[in-house]
Amino acid sequence: MARIDSHLAEELPTAAPLSPLLLINFVGMAASYAFIAVIGPLARLLHLHAWQVGVMVGIVGVVWAALSGPWGRMADNRGRISVLRRALAGFTLAYLALAVYVWWALQGGPHAVPAVVVSLVVLLATRGVMGAFYAGIPVAMTAWIADHTQADNRAAALAKLGAAGAIGMVLAPPLAGWIAQRHLPLALLVFALLPAVGLTQLRRLHEARQHEASVPREHMRPTEARIFLAWISSFALFSSVIIANTSLGFYLIDRLGIAAANAAAWTGYALGCAGLALILAQAAVAHFKQVTPLYWLGAGALLGAAGFAATLLASTPPAICAAYFVAGLGMGAAFPAVSAIAANAVAAHEQSACAAAMSMAQGLSMVVAPVVGTALYDWRAPAPFALIVVLLALVGSASLVPQRTGSDK
């Protein structure tokens, strides 16, 4: 992991050490995606329904959206590093509580698990607390970078932070699935302890001497004409990823007849393939700067739709992995394009308001997508993937319509 963060930080034009934040984002994303990789098999072993898993995933979005503001105010009042320390510690302890409960619940075997209502309440509570603390991590990291980098270097720093998280997303699901294939509670325990590594890095950071006073900013609604395409596209993209991730484990078990333990491994492999493709696509977007964001959004969304459509035709786990790789290429091209389209559509003094409005799309998708996706799965197993194909096809088609806002510049 040291090679990962040092490689990403080596070209950052700032005296402040960014590598601790890269490692923190790496372990945080790895821990989060490890849980997604085993959630389907875990639900089957605890006799939970797919819609209950959707609620379990969705509660994170609710508390995330509710507490991002308070975490930001705390970061202003008590410092970025203090907030990072509290958020990382709380997330780690809540994750450990979840892992310990799963270990206890499954120690007697699948026929001796606690009542469904007990498991549901415990998992909802621990997941909710995990989301409440994790919400403070990106807020504090972004604020710290803003304090310690000049404006023209800030985008590079944030891009490297995102890349570190993407690497965690790639590596964690296959590893979690491999461990879960042998002992599912152990996989949760390993990744519950991983964020504690981030706590050891905080001593390498120093607080800015003085935070800038908060400046009231203009509010921007998602329905604002200039950013509506970007906002609705972002909501569709995030929703598609969440639905695909939460449905895959069930789909492997129910449609392909894979055993629960093996399904955890194949879910991890598929998500790892998608994450690797996402990184490759983002590298291509960064390299071919002459291609407009609007084109990347359209091409990426349509390629993503093709990949998820291929999932419905796949009859073996390796074919699922290949389909997710194609989908990951499309999503990797579309995600950075959305942010660029929104930023290019507004004036300089509106950038903060624009970013706040766009962040609502991700928070809302974390609430709506798991519930809708799992409810559709309970109705018909292919339905969630069919919905994803429709959503991405609509985004791709809409991006081909000429825009008057200049967002395609």
pLDDT in tens, 55-88: 887 788 788 777 776 777 787 778 888 889 999 9
Nearest to 23 by CA among 205, 150, 179: 205
Q: What angle do CA 200, 210, 150 make, to 5 degrees?
A: 80
pLDDT at 359: 65
pLDDT at 108: 65
Start-to-end C-alpha separation, the chain: 37
> What single letter denotes the amino acid at residue 150?
Q
Please, are residues 109 and 216 in contact by the beta-carbon 8 Å criterion?
A: no
Please, are residues 111 and 47 in contact by the beta-carbon 8 Å criterion?
A: no
CA distances from 360 to 155, 249, 338, 353 (A): 20, 27, 14, 11
What are the tokens at 171?
A: 């590596």
Nearest to 370 by CA among 78, 127, 103, 58: 58
- Which is more confidently placed, 270 or 206? 270
pLDDT at 329: 93
Measure the CA–CA gap between 169 and 301, rounded to whole angstroms: 20
- Which is more confidently placed, 409 or 25? 25
Inform me whether the pLDDT recorded for 172 exceeds 50.
yes
CATH topology match: 17-203 vs 217-403: yes
DSSP string computed for 203-253: GG----S-PPPP-------TT-TTTHHHHHHHHHHHHHHHHHHHHHHHHHH
Against a cut of 0.75, is the pTM above it? no
CA distances from 305 to 3, 392, 397 (A): 35, 5, 11
Measure the CA–CA gap between 328 and 273, rounded to whole angstroms: 8
| CATH architecture label of 217-403 | Up-down Bundle (1.20)
Q: Quick check: helix, strand or coil at residue 398? A: helix
The 10 Å Cβ neighbour count of residue 107 is 10
For the chain, which residues make up each domain, given as ranges? 17-203, 217-403
User: Fold for domain 17-203?
Assistant: Growth Hormone; Chain: A; (1.20.1250)
- Which is more confidently placed, 4 or 40? 40
Inform me whether the pLDDT recorded for 91 exceeds 90.
yes
Inform me whether the pLDDT recorded for 4 exceeds 60.
no
Measure the CA–CA gap between 28 and 133, rounded to whole angstroms: 11
Inform me whether the pLDDT recorded for 159 exceeds 60.
no
Res. 356 pLDDT band, cuts 50 70 90: low
Greatest mean pLDDT among 289-298, 300-309, 357-366 = 300-309
CA distances from 168 to 4, 152, 289 (A): 10, 27, 26
> What single letter denotes the amino acid at residue 157?
A
pLDDT at 395: 95
Q: Quick check: helix, strand or coil at residue 404? A: coil
